[in-house]
């Protein structure tokens, strides 16, 4: 785990109105991009600053979620952590969590977005809406959405592109099923998912990859450290031909990360943080994992 020092690799409003003549008004997406809370991401001499992200899934969308966010934000408040923190609460409390997180070390993200910016899509949320509610990240292509909502690589890529248009960092999730691992197809599956799900032209400033073996999510099982390291190195290599500054793209591990196994995982090369489900619902456990990044 690299120590944190270093310059800025991403963030800052992108020059979204270059090419526009004169005083033409900004579009909504451009106005959002120019807003002040676009995240500044640091890098280190030896790699990107780790990101510890909590995916609350369909839990804690009420007062308990507000209390959880407060506990994480206040718990981290007096410390200098060696990582960035991200909370991905249910959308119904995202704006309130973002207000609580304002000025703190924690960023806020959505758990999914639609591929289009607006329109007749009952029940969906656009990336722009998430951004306006205070998000700076959005998870796309989580295996629960791929499996439960039939999301394909092409759909995931379109969502990541929507996130980028809105000025959000897309956390693109990939990972093999248990059957694919048993059949020796893990690396092929990951290569295929990187090629299909990550927008061409993506880079470290707007894209994070989360490697989440489907069979490890919520199961209490994890790949061996060697298997995690092999997968991450393979993902990095596949990114190299596809995105800008592949060495700086954060590749998170996700799947049954807990305080007692996180240290070994976070110490691996090419592991730049974690996407945490169950353990992110416990502020003490979530912060214990984050402290391992010191
Ligand atoms: P888990 O979930 O930590 O509960 O395994 C991880 C995820 O689905 O992102």
Domains and CATH numbers, the chain: 50-75+83-116+125-216+224-290 (3.20.20.70)
Q: Which residues are catalytic?
A: 142, 212
Name the residue with higher pLDDT: 77 or 156. 156
Q: Please, are residues 134 and 94 in contact by the beta-carbon 8 Å criterion?
A: yes
| Reduced DSSP (H G I as helix, E B as strand, rest coil) percent helix, strand, coil of the chain, to 5 | 40, 15, 45
pTM of the model: 0.87
Q: Looking at 10-19, 98-107, 237-246, 267-276, which range is the least confident one?
A: 10-19
- pLDDT average, residue stretch 130-155: 98
Calculate how far, in angstroms, residue 16's C-alpha sits from the geometric centre of ligand 1: 34
Q: Whose CA is nearest to atom 9 of ligand 1?
A: 277
Ligand 1 atom closest to residue 55's alpha carbon, by position in its atom list: 9
Q: Whose CA is nearest to atom 3 of ligand 1?
A: 277
Mutate which of 51, 52, 55 for ligand 1? The one with the most ligand atoms within 8 Å of its CB, which is: 55
Going from the C-alpha of 96 to that of each of 3, 25, 220, 232, 258, the distances in angstroms are 32, 29, 31, 34, 27
Calculate how far, in angstroms, residue 209's C-alpha sits from the geometric centre of ligand 1: 14
Q: Looking at 12-16, 135-139, 217-221, which range is the least confident one?
A: 12-16
Ligand 1 atom closest to residue 219's alpha carbon, by position in its atom list: 5
pLDDT at position 2 is 39
pLDDT at position 121 is 98
Q: What angle do CA 29, 275, 180 make, to 5 degrees?
A: 105
Ligand 1 atom closest to residue 279's alpha carbon, by position in its atom list: 3
Calculate how far, in angstroms, residue 280's C-alpha sits from the geometric centre of ligand 1: 9
- pLDDT average, residue stretch 124-138: 98
Q: Whose CA is nearest to atom 7 of ligand 1?
A: 277
Ligand 1 atom closest to residue 258's alpha carbon, by position in its atom list: 3
Calculate how far, in angstroms, residue 54's C-alpha sits from the geometric centre of ligand 1: 9
Band the pLDDT of 30: cuts 50, 70, 90.
Answer: low
- pLDDT average, residue stretch 236-262: 96
State the virtual CA torsion across 259, 95, 39, 157 in degrees, nearest 10.
80
How far is Cα 95 from Cα 118, in angstroms, rounded to an integer? Answer: 19
pLDDT at position 4 is 37
Residues 6+ apart with CB under 8 A from 143: 173, 175, 212, 214, 217
Q: Alpha-carbon torsion 25, 158, 37, 119, what sign?
A: positive
How far is Cα 124 from Cα 119, in angstroms, rounded to an integer? Answer: 10
Q: Whose CA is nearest to atom 2 of ligand 1?
A: 277
Residues 159-210 have pLDDT tens digits of: 999 999 999 999 999 999 999 999 999 999 999 999 999 999 999 999 999 9
pLDDT at position 239 is 97
pLDDT at position 241 is 83
Q: Which residues contact ligand 1 via a Cβ below 6 A?
A: 55, 212, 217-218, 254-257, 275-279
């Amino acid at each position: 785990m690299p120590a944190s020092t270093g310059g800025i690799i991403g963030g800052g409003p992108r020059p979204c109105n270059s090419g526009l003549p004169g005083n033409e008004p900004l579009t909504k997406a451009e106005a959002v991009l120019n807003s002040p809370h676009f995240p500044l991401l640091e890098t280190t001499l030896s790699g990107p600053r780790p990101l510890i992200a909590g995916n609350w899934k369909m839990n804690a969308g009420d007062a308990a979620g507000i209390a959880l966010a407060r506990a994480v934000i206040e718990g981290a408040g007096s410390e200098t952590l060696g990582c960035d923190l991200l909370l991905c609460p249910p959308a119904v409390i995202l704006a309130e969590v973002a207000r609580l997180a304002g000025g703190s070390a924690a960023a806020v993200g959505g758990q999914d977005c639609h591929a289009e910016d607006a329109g007749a899509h009952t029940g969906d949320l656009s990336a722009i809406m998430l951004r306006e509610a205070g998000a700076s990240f959005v998870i796309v292509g989580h295996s629960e959405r791929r499996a439960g909502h039939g999301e394909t690589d092409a759909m995931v890529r379109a969502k990541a592109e929507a996130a980028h248009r809105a000025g959000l960092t897309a956390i693109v999730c990939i990972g093999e099923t248990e059957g694919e691992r048993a059949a020796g197809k893990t690396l092929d599956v990951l290569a295929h998912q990187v090629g299909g799900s990550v927008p061409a032209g993506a880079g470290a400033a707007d894209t994070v990859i989360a490697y989440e073996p489907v069979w490890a999510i919520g199961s209490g099982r994890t790949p061996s450290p060697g298997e995690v390291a092999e997968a991450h190195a393979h993902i990095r290599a596949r990114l190299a031909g596809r995105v800008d500054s592949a060495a700086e793209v954060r590749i998170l591990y996700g799947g049954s990360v807990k305080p007692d196994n996180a240290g070994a995982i976070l110490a691996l090369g090419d592991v730049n943080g974690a996407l945490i489900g169950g353990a992110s619902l416990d502020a003490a456990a979530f912060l214990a994992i984050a402290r391992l990044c010191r």
